[in-house]
Homo-oligomer: A and B are copies of this chain.
Amino acid sequence: MSRRILVIGAAGMIGRKLVERLSKEAGTSLTLHDVVPFEGGRQSVVSDLSTAGEAEKLVAGRPDLIFHLAAVVSGEAEADFDKGYRVNLDGTRRLFEAIRKAGGDEAGSEAGSYRPRVVFTSSIAVFGAPFPEAIDDEFLGAPLTSYGTQKAICELLLSDYSRRGFFDGIGIRLPTICVRPGKPNKAASGFFSGIIREPLAGEEALLPVAETVRHWFASPRAAVGFLMHAAQLDSTKLGARRNLSMPGVSATVAEEIEALRRVAGADAVRRIRRQPDPAIERIVSGWPQNFDTRRALALGFRADSSFEEIIRIHLQDEVQKSPLPPRARA
């Protein structure tokens, strides 16, 4: 593991779990960044990455490894066009440019001496319907949201900056994270977690879509495992295509519910209340359902084994508050 690590977006759900994991590594110096004030320890920086000059400050310490997790989420990027492009596209581009300039490439054509590993969290939102039965590694990126567009553009920049030798980048497209800890939120995808999390906590959850709806999931623990693996991967194995769909679990809502029954019994399942919402049905119908992630699997990325495991991880890491065990990697 590298010594000087910068985590951008450290206050988010995945960011906090990643930092917890990185804190256990010996001999590392962690710098944590977010746009909102957060509990980050000694080397914490609060700033807006999309403001001129801020990326340069973050890169001035020449971190060997940079995790870039920061983003305005899908709903907000759709509601506020300017903010989405400013944060998700311009902020990322400023970071990439700051790294290039830190390497001495003022002239614009030659790679410099500084070439950190950059791990960027992209999203399956770079894909848009209609889909094949499983989205493989050669399927086009044709997003149907501004958020997905911004992530797809950053993927292209990451590949080009890596090809030019400005940094050593890898973009990982995270599945929908499930079970998300915390309170229910208004995100269209919220129910996928809600119908597990709330019943396990003895509370009622609303199910707005049909049980036949299928989607692509990874646990928070698997997501942290992807990030850790991406940080240490031999990038010569990637070739020019530096963005990868991460493996996951494809499950229908019915399969989610059946897994909940096996883990927590029929009482838990009875706390799910059907309340169809055509607006959410329509949004979700445009989302990916299944992937063929053979490149990521061949490179050693490992998903959860089943939706049941996803529920058990939630119980271990969130409900029982047991310490996060190190994730086994192939």
Q: List residues of chain A with CB under 8 Å of any chain B CB.
A: 79-83, 105, 108-109, 128, 132, 137-144, 146, 149, 152-153, 156-157, 159-160, 163-164, 240-241
Contacts and interface: CB of A to CB of B under 8 A. Distances in A.
Contacts of A83: 108
9 tightest CB-CB pairs across the interface, nearest first?
A82-B108, A81-B108, A149-B160, A153-B153, A149-B156, A140-B140, A138-B140, A142-B241, A152-B156
Contacts of A156: 141, 143, 149, 152-153, 156
A159 B163 contact: no
Contacts of A241: 128, 142
B240 A142 contact: yes
A143 B128 contact: no
Contacts of A79: 109
Contacts of A139: 138, 140
Contact of A141 (B82, B109, B140): B140
A52 to B, nearest CB: 14
A295 to B, nearest CB: 12
Given A140-B141, A146-B164, 5 more contacts: A81-B109, A138-B139, A142-B240, A149-B156, A149-B157
B128 A146 contact: no
A82 B106 CA distance: 9
A34 to B, nearest CB: 23
Residue with the greatest number of chain B CB neighbours at <10 A, chosen from A83, A108, A152, A156: A156
A100 to B, nearest CB: 8
Contacts of A157: 149, 153
Contacts of A137: 140
A115 B30 CA distance: 48
A271 to B, nearest CB: 37
A142 B159 contact: yes
Contacts of A153: 153, 156-157
22 contacts: A79-B109, A80-B109, A81-B105, A81-B108, A81-B109, A82-B108, A128-B240, A128-B241, A132-B138, A137-B140, A140-B141, A141-B141, A141-B156, A142-B241, A143-B160, A144-B240, A146-B160, A146-B164, A149-B156, A149-B159, A153-B153, A153-B156
